[in-house]
Amino acid sequence: MERGTALRQTVLLLVLFVGFALVPVLSTSKYHMLLAGHILLWGLFAVAFNMLWGVTGMLSFGQALYYGLGAYSVGLMAKHVGAGWFLPGLVFGLLGAVVLSVAVGLLIIRVSGVFFTVLTLAFGQLAWQITFRWYNFTGGDDGIQGIIPPGILGNGVVYYYFVLVVVGLSIWLLQRIARSPMGVLLRCVRQNPSRVPFLGQSVRFSQLRIYVISSFFSALAGALMAGIDNFIHTDMLYWTTSGEVILMSVLGGIGQFFGPFVGAGVLIVLQDVVGAETQYWPLMIGIVMMVMVLLLPKGLVGEFQSLRARLKSGGAPR
């Protein structure tokens, strides 16, 4: 990757970080902070997802499995052990995500393309079924309420900054991975998998590695979300959650590192403004998805960039 792009991305990351850091200072309502927290965590979830799809070409329809795993690890600890076990719950969730994603990953990377997508969906729905039916342990459809982070993290503003720092670090890390030789290899897996073995590299191992990394950060987003909402529900594991994170990525643009983050922001603000007014939110996002796939496949960020490139070159169509 060129140095200019790398520099611009780092600057963008810093600008975003400072912008989100100012939210509690500038805003008087707690609601804006909640909204900003949601954008941060969904943004992390979407960026982690896009490492799988946009970068490596593995379309997973089951990342809700790990998102929910993180959330339920925190929630179940709080429910069965004690409210003080928030952070251990988070760590267990991350470890659990790594173990589970290695096990599931070994099974599902045996197939590719559509089959891979379908299997991720099936495993996600399996986890949802188990959580939904195991009422005594998980609370089933009632979810788990009253998850308050312990100590000083119980303060909303402190927790917000905690989330901001963790998300900032995670996205910086993911950006490093995307730019590293490993990131280049992952793009090669997407574009020309038969060539990877000639480089002395393994397609399967690369796929498994990024699957585990992506799942790790999905679980992190889910676990932190439990602290923002103070409430978790089986919907976090449902297939629509996986669908939503895909939509965010497509909306923002899967070809750009920050595309999914932008998509998350746009979709959450849209849901806040429009979703409250209509009971037909799925219809709305269905239409948005259709428009993006048919007319703007590069996503908002990608289409904006090609539009700018076209204007720069004197308006001549490329």
Partner 1 sequence: MDVSFIAMQLLSGLTMATLLFLVASGLTLIFGVGNVFNFAHGSFYMLGAYLAYQTVSAWHINFWAATLMAAVGAGILGMMAEFLFLRRIYGRSEEGGFQILLTYSFILVIDDLVKMIWGTEYKSLLRPAGFHGSITMGGLTMPTYNLAIIGIGVLVAVLAWLILTRTRPGRVSRATALDREMLGAMGVNVPRTMTVVFGIATALGGFAGALAAPLRSVTPGAGIEVIIDSLIVVVIGGMGHFWGAWLGALLLGEVNSFAVALVPEWASVVSYVAMVLCLIFKPEGLFAPRQVRKA
Q: Which of 1, 111, 173, 184 binds partner 1 (CB under 8 A)?
A: 111
Instruction: Write the burial class of residue 158 (CB in 10 Å: 0-12 exposed, 13-18 middle, 19+ buried).
Output: middle
Q: Does 243 bind partner 1 (CB under 8 A)?
A: yes
Q: Does 282 bind partner 1 (CB under 8 A)?
A: yes
Angle between helices 203-229 and 86-108 (to 10 degrees): 150
Question: Is the Cβ of residue 35 or residue 285 nearer to partner 1 in the bound state?
Answer: 285
Q: Does 274 bind partner 1 (CB under 8 A)?
A: no
Q: Does 26 bind partner 1 (CB under 8 A)?
A: no
Q: Of the listed pieces 26-34, 55-63, 148-156, 226-234, which binds partner 1 according to CB under 8 A?
A: 55-63
For residue 84, give the amino acid letter. Answer: G
Q: Of the listed pieces 113-121, 139-147, 221-229, 303-311, which binds partner 1 according to CB under 8 A?
A: 113-121
Contact 254/248 with Cβ under 8 angstroms?
A: no
**Cβ-Cβ contacts under 8 Å for 258 (sequence gap 6 or more):** 9, 12, 16, 47, 252, 301
Alpha-carbon distance 271 to 232, whole Å?
19
Contacts 24+ apart (CB under 8 A), 308-312: none
| Residue 60 backbone class (left: φ over 0; alpha: ψ -120 to 50; beta: rest) | beta
The token pair at 66 is: 């790990």
Alpha-carbon distance 197 to 212, whole Å?
21
Q: Does 87 bind partner 1 (CB under 8 A)?
A: no
* Per-position DSSP letters for 223-263, written without gaps between them: HHHHHHHSEE-GGGGSHHHHHHHHHHHHHH-TTSSSHHHHH
Q: Which of 7, 80, 91, 115 binds partner 1 (CB under 8 A)?
A: 115
Nearest approach in angstroms of CB 99 to partner 1 is: 16
Site size with partner 1, rule: CB under 8 A:
38
Report which DSSP code applies to 57: -
Q: Does 13 bind partner 1 (CB under 8 A)?
A: no
Question: Is the Cβ of residue 16 or residue 250 nearer to partner 1 in the bound state?
Answer: 250
Q: Which of 19, 113, 146, 151 binds partner 1 (CB under 8 A)?
A: 113
Please, which residues bridge with residue 36 across strands? none
Question: Is the Cβ of residue 96 or residue 193 nearer to partner 1 in the bound state?
Answer: 193
Nearest approach in angstroms of CB 190 to partner 1 is: 8
Q: Does 280 bind partner 1 (CB under 8 A)?
A: yes
Q: Does 157 bind partner 1 (CB under 8 A)?
A: no
Nearest approach in angstroms of CB 62 to partner 1 is: 11
- Which residues of this chain interact with partner 1, rule CB under 8 A? 53, 57, 59, 61, 107-108, 110-115, 117-119, 121-123, 125-126, 129-130, 133, 239, 243, 246, 250, 280, 282-283, 285-287, 289-290, 293-294, 297
